[in-house]
Every structure is written in structure tokens, then in C-alpha cells.
């Protein structure tokens, strides 16, 4: 960018020099035409009187010399102004380039850090990224949108909460679902207890996890809606078990 501006500026100065050369050449040609007259002293004081009967022609006065000289002076002044302003043009060009480049570089670095955090913490949400990066959510969403546009990250909706994953076919839909669910501590505790088969009823889960039966019931309903767990009736009791489709993925992540 700076090199381009430099070339344009130098080209402008060179054009002015060419114009000056052309006008100077024109001046020499016209001056040469004016010097074709031979001037000799007149015998008397009377102006325009012939010496030997020859025809007398008064030499034409070249009245445009002053205009040419004025134009020459103006062109020279403009050239001097161009030269004086040249450092300032370079300075503004360089500063402008650096500001634009600095702003873009900062954005690239932020997006690299956001991407690295998402890669290391799959299934993370905006609030977690914002706290880690110390960014306001508006700025964070701007950078996340760019990362999505560039196909670097992808999203997964978890009951209205948007979670982010590395996007290069690293995670299938099943894995994204499991990872998203396990982000919640209470859901992870309940799934872990059912996987270990230590307890598989509402009462046992409430006792071992330390949360109320009502809260357990709410989480169980969410996990059933996602097909992560199944329930079977045994008399008056309801027995919960892990859906075999997700067992391997859950065991790997737990």
C-alpha cells in the first residue's frame, strides 16, 4: 500500500517536471523566432524612418512572455509544495496502514484464542467463553460469527443454550449431544450413578447425589426427552437405565 502511494506521488512529480520541460522548450522556440530580426542604429531620432527607402516593419512584441513566466513560477511552486508534503504523505500512509493492520491483527489473535478454547473445551457456551476471554458478549458473538462463516466452529442447541464445537467433522451429532449434556454438573452426576448401576430409582438418586427428588425428577425428564436414558416399571418402582445407543459415548466422556 505504501509502495503504491510512493509510486503515484513520484509519478505526479515526474509529470510536473515533464510539463516544465515542454513549456521551457516552447519558450526557446518562440524566443528563437523573435531573434530573427536584425537591429541596427537609426541615422536619426525619428522612430520607424527608412534609411534607404526599404520597407520598415516594427518587430512584434512578444506580450505572452510574462504569462509563460507566471505559469512557470506556479508550476515550480507546486513542485516545491509536493516535495515538502511528501514526508507527510508517507507518514499518514504508513500510520493508516499500521492502524488497519493492527486492528485486523488483534481480531485474528482473539479469534485464534477463542478457537483454541473451543477446541480444548468442546460444548462450551458463550458465557464460559466470555469469562475466559474477558470479552463482552457483543464482541464475542461478532468473532464467533466470523469463525462460523469460515467453517472453523459449529453450534449445537442444548435446550435453548447454544454450545460450540470445533468444526472439521471431529464430532458427530451423538457426541455433540453427549458432550453438551455432560456440561451440566447435576446431569453428569445422575448419569454417572446410573452408569455405575449403584442406584437406578428416583429415591436412590436423590440420596446419593444430595439433591431433592423433585430436582432429580426434572433432570430425568430432560434426559428422557434426549433419549439418553430409559425407564422401566417394576411394581411400584421406576427403574432407570442408559440407552444402549449412547452408553459407549457416555462411558468415554464420564
* CATH number of the domain within which 211 lies: 1.10.10.10
CB 121 within 8 Å of CB 133: no
Q: Which of 225, 223, 233 is nearest to 191 (CA)?
A: 223
What string of pLDDT tens digits covers the 254 residues of the chain?
A: 444 444 544 455 455 566 555 655 655 555 544 444 455 555 555 555 555 555 655 555 545 555 666 666 776 676 667 666 666 655 655 555 454 455 677 888 999 999 999 999 999 999 999 998 888 999 999 999 999 999 999 988 877 789 999 987 778 888 889 898 988 889 999 999 888 876 678 888 888 888 888 999 999 999 999 899 998 888 778 889 899 998 888 888 87
User: Whole-angstrom Cα distance, residue 47 to residue 129?
Assistant: 100
Q: Is residue 87 part of a domain?
A: no
Q: Is residue 8 part of a domain?
A: no
Q: Is residue 91 part of a domain?
A: no
CB 114 within 8 A of CB 133: yes
Domain span at residue 145 reads 111-166
CA angle 69, 74, 80 (to 5 degrees): 125
| Residue 248 is assigned to a structural domain of this protein | yes
Residue 188 resides in a domain: yes
Whether 134 maps to a domain, the answer reads yes
Q: CA–CA separation, 14 vs 135, rounded Å?
A: 51
Residue 99 resides in a domain: no
Number of folded domains in the chain? Answer: 2
- Asked if the structure places residue 50 within a domain, the reply is no
Q: Round to whole Å and give the CA distance between 118 and 140.
A: 13
118 & 159 share domain: yes
Whether residues 189 and 160 share a domain: the answer is: no
Do 210 and 240 share a domain, yes or no? yes
Amino acid at each position: 500500500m505504501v509502495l503504491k502511494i510512493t509510486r503515484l506521488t513520484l509519478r505526479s512529480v515526474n509529470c510536473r517536471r515533464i510539463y516544465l520541460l515542454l513549456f521551457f522548450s516552447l519558450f526557446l522556440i518562440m524566443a528563437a523566432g523573435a531573434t530573427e530580426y536584425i537591429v541596427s542604429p537609426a541615422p536619426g531620432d525619428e522612430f520607424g524612418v527608412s534609411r534607404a527607402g526599404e520597407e520598415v516593419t516594427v518587430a512584434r512584441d512578444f506580450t505572452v512572455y510574462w504569462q509563460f513566466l507566471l505559469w512557470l513560477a506556479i508550476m515550480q511552486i507546486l513542485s516545491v509544495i509536493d516535495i515538502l508534503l511528501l514526508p507527510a504523505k508517507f507518514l499518514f500512509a504508513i500510520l493508516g496502514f499500521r492502524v488497519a493492520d493492527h486492528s485486523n491483527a488483534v481480531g485474528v489473535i482473539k479469534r485464534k484464542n477463542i478457537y483454541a478454547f473451543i477446541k480444548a473445551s468442546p460444548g462450551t457456551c458463550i458465557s464460559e467463553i466470555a469469562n475466559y476471554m474477558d470479552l463482552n458478549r457483543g464482541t464475542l458473538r461478532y468473532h464467533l460469527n466470523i469463525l462460523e462463516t469460515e467453517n472453523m466452529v459449529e453450534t449445537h442447541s442444548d435446550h435453548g443454550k447454544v454450545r460450540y464445537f470445533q468444526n472439521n467433522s471431529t464430532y458427530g451429532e451423538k457426541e455433540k449431544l453427549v458432550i453438551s449434556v455432560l456440561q451440566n454438573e447435576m446431569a453428569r452426576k445422575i448419569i454417572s450413578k446410573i452408569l455405575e448401576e449403584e442406584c437406578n430409582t428416583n429415591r436412590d438418586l436423590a440420596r446419593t447425589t444430595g439433591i431433592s427428588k423433585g430436582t432429580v425428577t426434572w433432570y430425568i425428564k430432560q434426559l428422557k426427552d434426549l433419549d439418553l436414558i430409559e425407564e422401566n416399571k417394576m411394581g411400584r418402582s421406576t427403574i432407570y437405565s442408559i440407552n444402549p445407543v449412547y452408553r459407549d459415548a457416555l462411558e468415554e466422556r464420564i
